[in-house]
Structure 1
Amino acid sequence: MFISQACFEGDKIIEHKIITKLQKTMKETIDVEGLLSTDCWLKENKDRVEYVFVAKWKSKDHFKKWVSREEHVEEHKEMNKQKKQGSQEEVKINKTLRQYELVDLSSL
């Protein structure tokens, strides 16, 4: 089993942008081969929000296949191109990615 975790953190004033991104990601995970479950977690304080999207996969290979799909890769290429050209609005969202593989502690 494999867990992918994407954390998006920013000021509350841009929370709607984070939510829009997460809603898009949730739609993209519907009926994906190898995906076992998804959750979205929220942590907030006075001025900041943190949303964590957690996806549980049958295997790392299933995750790699999903994340390397053409439309996802092209979306990131376009975002990077716009950022370099200065045509994309700079939004301060901190993104942290973490990945974990299931370990059977009794076999260690």
Structure 2
Amino acid sequence: MFVNQASFEGDKANEAKIIAKMKKTFAELQDVSGLLSSECWKKEKNDVVEYSIVTKWTAKQDFIAWLSREEHVNEHKEMNKQRKQGISEKPSMKKTITQYEEIEIANL
């Protein structure tokens, strides 16, 4: 099994943008091959809010296939292009990715 956690953190003033990102990602996770489960978690402290999407996959290759889909790759290419051209503003959230692969304790 493979677990991916994508966390998006920002000021409470930007919470609506983070929630929109969560909803978009969850919509893209519908009926995906190899996806075992997906959950959204929230953490708040003072004026900072963090949302994390935790997905569990049959194998890392399933996650990579989902991540490598054409529309996702093109979306990131366009965002990078706009940043280089100064068209888009600085991101209003910090993104952190954490990944784990399941191991058998007996094999350690």
| TM score, norm. by length of structure 2 | 0.97
**SS at structure 2 position matched to 1:14:** helix
User: How far apart in 1 are the matches of 2:44 and 2:62?
Assistant: 31
Shift of 1:90: 2.1
Q: Separation in 2 of the partners of 1:107 and 1:84?
A: 47
Q: Counterpart of 1:45 in structure 2: which amino acid?
A: K
Kindly provide the amino acid, as one letter, of the partner of residue 33 in structure 1. S
Q: CA RMSD in A?
A: 0.8
**Structure 1 partner of 2:38:** 38
CA apart distance, 1:89: 2.4
- Could you list the per-position Cα deviations for residues 43-76 of structure 1 after superposition, in whole angstroms to 9, with x for gaps in the alignment? 0012000111100000000000000000000000
- SS, match of residue 96 in structure 1: strand
**Alpha-carbon distance in 1 for matches of 2:55, 2:21:** 15
Partner amino acid, structure 2, of 1:68: S
Gaps of 5+ in 2: none
1:52 correspondence with 2:77: no
- Deviation of residue 103 (structure 1)? 1.1
Q: Which residue of 2 aligns with 1:9?
A: 9
**Consecutive unaligned residues in structure 1, runs of 5 or more:** none
3-state secondary structure, aligned to 1:86: coil
Residue in 1 aligned with 2:96?
96
Match of 1:61 in 2: 61
Instruction: Report the identity percentage.
Output: 56
TM-score, normalising length from structure 1? 0.97
Distance, in Å, in 2 between the alignment partners of 1:53 and 1:11 is 18
